[in-house]
Amino acid sequence: MEIDLGANAFGIDFHPSKNLVAAGLIDGQLHLYRYDTESSLVRERKVRAHKESCRAVRFIDDGQRIVTASADCSILATDVETGASVARLENAHEDAVNTLITVTETTIASGDDKGCVKIWDTRQRSCSHEFNVHEDYISDMTVASDSMKLVATSGDGTLSVCNLRTNKVQAQSEFSEDELLSVVIMKNGRKAICGTQNGILMLYSWGFFKDCSDRFVDLSPNSVDVLLKLDEDRLITGCDNGIISLVGILPNRIIQPIGSHEFPIEDLALSHDNKFLGSTAHDSMLKLWDLEEIIEGANGNASGAADDSDSDNDGMDLDNDPKPSKGSKRKTKSKANPVDNRAFFADM
């Protein structure tokens, strides 16, 4: 099923328990849609959330609120039932906010175009810490929830690992010649997979982040803009040629195509029951793909028992030196100011 949003959507997210999907649009609008198993998408609500583009969308508080992040540097919380603005932080970052993820039930993280990552306590409505590791925009983030490590990728070509318990940077990869655009953690926490601008998937062994341990080149030269974890052995890729593919990791192979848009893929998300895959692209379309038949057809090809080709002591200890080597090429970017104690959201 699909629907024309009327404008390009930068981010989508599914409700954690209901058949609802939210989309953040380039014109600053937030759309909420209800879907069913009869191939129907119906818009429930449209909210003028931001002055500039809405780049990221996440349901929080068990689906009671939607948090959005924008190029206008603001973060907004919207009530799902009423569409009313619950709270807003006008200057959440010094630069455009590009990414937003849920860390725990009471914590979210946001990343901006300067390379700054901020951690927010939604109970206290305050920024608890920030990390200034990167020298270019934060392209994607994910969390190893068991160890509370946040993994971020950046346009500066590096991956970083930040310990959210100690609020310290624990590792940073060497600089890649290409921008790192997306990241997921797989293989029960033993591998971090990054999508790149030249279409190569870079596989990092956990604890050995200086350089990747493996590369998968079959998607090249199409930029891998989005990665979505399906399970510990399979992920879904969204590329700039508009193709969405099911990919196996270790053994590395393209299992099968899932679907396509006419233009580059912008975001991917899974419904609460994993029945539907949502996709948006530069064609203003929101598409929902029924994954049941796709997964059933691919199960015979997937091998969850395959061993990693590189064992290199996949422990959870991280590199001792978090910084890249001095000889690596770096871009010059100003750092964000130290964290302040502003409220997470100013009450409306």
d(CA 262, CA 146): 39
Q: Are strands 265-270 and 54-60 parallel, antiparallel or unpaired?
A: unpaired
SS3 291: helix
Distance (Å) of CA 280 to CA 57, 70, 129, 242, 288: 13, 17, 32, 10, 9
- Mean pLDDT over residues 166-174, rounded? 96
What are the percentages of helix, strand and coil residues in the chain, rounded to 5?
5, 50, 45
Token pair for 21: 């999907």
Contacts of 166 (CB under 8 A, 6+ apart): none
Q: Check if the beta carbon of residue 71 is closer than 8 Å to that of residue 57.
A: no
d(CA 92, CA 342): 9
d(CA 69, CA 65): 13
pLDDT at 323: 55
pLDDT at 324: 57
Of 28-37, 139-148, 307-316, give the lowest mean pLDDT range: 307-316
Token pair for 58: 């996440």
Of 77-81, 111-115, 166-170, 303-307, give the lowest mean pLDDT range: 303-307
Note the pTM of the prediction, 2 decimals: 0.87
Token pair for 241: 């040629």
Distance (Å) of CA 51 to CA 55, 69, 72, 113: 12, 11, 6, 17
Of 193-207, 241-255, 322-336, give the lowest mean pLDDT range: 322-336
Whether the pLDDT of residue 313 is over 90: the answer is no
According to DSSP, the residues that pair with 172 across neighbouring strands are 160
For the segment 199-232, what is each residue's pLDDT rounded down to a tens digit? Answer: 999 999 999 999 999 999 999 999 999 999 999 9
Whether the pLDDT of residue 52 is over 70: the answer is yes
- Mean pLDDT over residues 167-183, rounded? 96
pLDDT at 123: 82
* Residue at 304: amino acid letter: G
Contacts of 300 (CB under 8 A, 6+ apart): none
Contacts of 129 (CB under 8 A, 6+ apart): 118, 119, 164, 167, 339
* Residue at 14: amino acid letter: F
